[in-house]
Structure 1
Amino acid sequence: MKLIIDSCADISQERARELNADMQPLTIQIDDKSYIDQFEITSEEVIQSIKDGRRPMTSQPNPESFAGIFKKYAEQNESIIYLGLSSALSGTYQSAVIARDTLLEEYPDADITLIDTSAVSYGLGLIVERAAGYIAQGDSKETVISKVEQDISKIRHLFTVNDLNYLAEGGRLSKGSAFLGGLLNIKPLLHVEDGKLVPLEKHRGLKKVFKRMNELAIAEGASGTGHIVHADAEKLAADLKDQLLKNTDLETINITGIGPTISSHTGDGTIALFYFKDGE
């Protein structure tokens, strides 16, 4: 059984290899040059371009890219599970659908399952890590799919950004008009709802945003492993981690940089927390 992911899971190439997952990258364009996400550009380079006033643009993989990966494993008679970035945020999942449908004309017996996770960044990453674990322990494909669907229903995304206007201008923010502008030092708390990025609350200052993240993690029974990603905000991410380990039942919280594609849309200063509601 082969696990396929896209680069918007914000899992590094090294981590993907550890999980025995093949990664299909998106593409980032800055000025007139295109870069393959994670392979040809780093998050730091993306953030620097934003600071320099050069807004990165992103594009989904084309169906042919997915077809190449699917064909490789179809020829080996290996079952495939693709865990994709929320289809409400990108056409990446639809490219995979087109690739699968085209490939089935040539390989009608190919076993290809596509799952729209409605997740993004390490929300998707945590789902991928668990799925890889189910496969590694020998679960049947039906069991893996069932467990993944449960994980999708429980994954929580909580994040804040420095500039909500920047996020909205990129077209990835839903229901955000009431949150735009506002008073100095008002920080938004956002989440994912039906696969879309949606403002949840707004608070005066980052300290209160972190406090609210802690409150939600406690109320929702977060335990086990959580994950924090950040864009050029490592110290703040570490502060949030310390608070969560002290106040919640989360036992392990890993911190990594947000991926190049996601940071292209969120900008610098973004901090996001991911965990599974109601524990493990």
Structure 2
Amino acid sequence: MHVQVLCDSASDLNHDVLERQSVRSLPLKVILNGEEYEDGIGMAPSDVYSRMRNGQAPKTAQVSPQAFRDMFTHYAEKGQPFIYFALSSELSGTYQTAKMVEQEVKEAYENAQFDVIDTKAASLGYGLVVWRASELAKEGGSYKDILELGQYHAAHMEHIFTVDDLEYLQRGGRVSRTAAFVGGLLKIKPLLHMEEGKLIPLEKIRGSKKVLKRMLEVMDERGKDLKNQRMAISHGDDQERAEKLAEMIKEKYGTEEIHIDFVGATIGAHAGPGTIALFFLNDTYK
């Protein structure tokens, strides 16, 4: 029996990719003006960003224990092995909730074969991990090989990103209020990355035009086999700049596959409109 790959909506994989790869995704929740929506289902990312530009401040909520219970039990009852790759535990309590439910379901179904994996990744960095694991699953790969491949990609996935307005990160406690105010005055654009699943400031760049160039330089320093690996760029309702970055990468490295999509509401609610994020591997899987 093939292995089923599961994820949550913070992977930012769109419906077409999920369907094509036979991945099941559990939606996180977005809360706006007291109304709750399913991330990517009840409200499109573009609508969330539009509301944010108009001053609304969305909140997010993790996948419920019951949603995990229903999904995990569904496959355990069928005797189908599955792996749930989760959004970084440093950014959401979703992973911890899934681990709690994992224990419950394994006690009820002793022969169930499944794992809950903390990818320490987010947005399309997380999505690329899920995508590659699901490809191997569709090819009929073994449970052990799919688990190993997914964990390797998660451990070697780079996240390099910038935000258009530090205010959104300040609201989420990612930068101080003073830093956000000064950054706005000086037109400073922060460059951030992920370390062990946490968002970490990397450096500050004055002027938005220099940011994309610097992102390429960081990728050049850290990436490996940049021509042949699948990369991804996610954006906070800024398709034009995302495509510009993709063009720069293709021109420099001849990269054949760069997937571009929205930063979904789960991450976008904290990063804000104008976010640009680049994802690539710093090593290639043997």
The TM-score normalised by the length of structure 1 is: 0.94
Displacement, 1:279?
4.5
User: SS of 1:157's equivalent?
Assistant: strand
Q: Which of 259, 262, 270 is residue 257 of structure 1 equivalent to? A: 262
1:240 aligns with 2:245: yes
* Residue equivalent to 1:71: 73
CA distance in 2: counterparts of 1:150 and 1:70, whole angstroms: 24
1:266 lines up with 2:271 in the alignment: yes
Question: Whole-Å Cα distance in 2 between the matches of residues 69 and 160 of structure 1?
Answer: 35
- Once the two structures are superposed, residues 121-173 of structure 1 have per-residue CA deviations (whole angstroms, 9 ceiling, x without a partner) of 000000011001111222211111111221112101011101123113123x3
Q: List, as ranges, runs of 4+ consecutive aligned residues in structure 1 with deviation greater than 6 Å.
A: none
Residue identity opposite 1:4 in structure 2: L
1:214/1:248 contact within 8 Å kept? no
1:276 aligned partner:
281
Query: What is the RMSD computed on CA atoms of the aligned residues?
Result: 1.5
* Partner Cα separation in structure 2 for residue 216 and residue 52 of structure 1: 33
- What code does the residue aligned with 2:264 have? G
Deviation of 1:249 after TM superposition, in Å, equals 5.0
CA–CA separation in structure 1 for the residues paired with 2:251 and 2:158: 19
Counterpart amino acid of 1:101?
Q
- The 8 Å contact of residues 218 and 248 in structure 1, kept in 2 or not, is answered as no
* Offset at residue 92 of structure 1 (A): 0.6
Cα separation, 2, equivalents of 1:3 and 1:225: 19
Deviation of 1:209 (Å): 1.3
| Structure 2 unaligned residues grouped into runs of 5+ | none
The TM-score with structure 2 as length reference comes to 0.92
Identity of aligned residues (%): 37
**Matching residue within 208, 211, 222 for 1:209:** 211
| Structure 1 unaligned residues grouped into runs of 5+ | none
Q: Count the aligned residue pairs.
A: 277
Partner in structure 2 of residue 22 of structure 1? 24
Structure 1 stretch displaced more, 30-39 or 258-267: 258-267
Match of 1:108 among 87, 100, 110: 110
Following the alignment from structure 1 to structure 2, what is the Cα–Cα distance between the partners of residues 250 and 169?
36
**Partner residue of 1:117?**
119
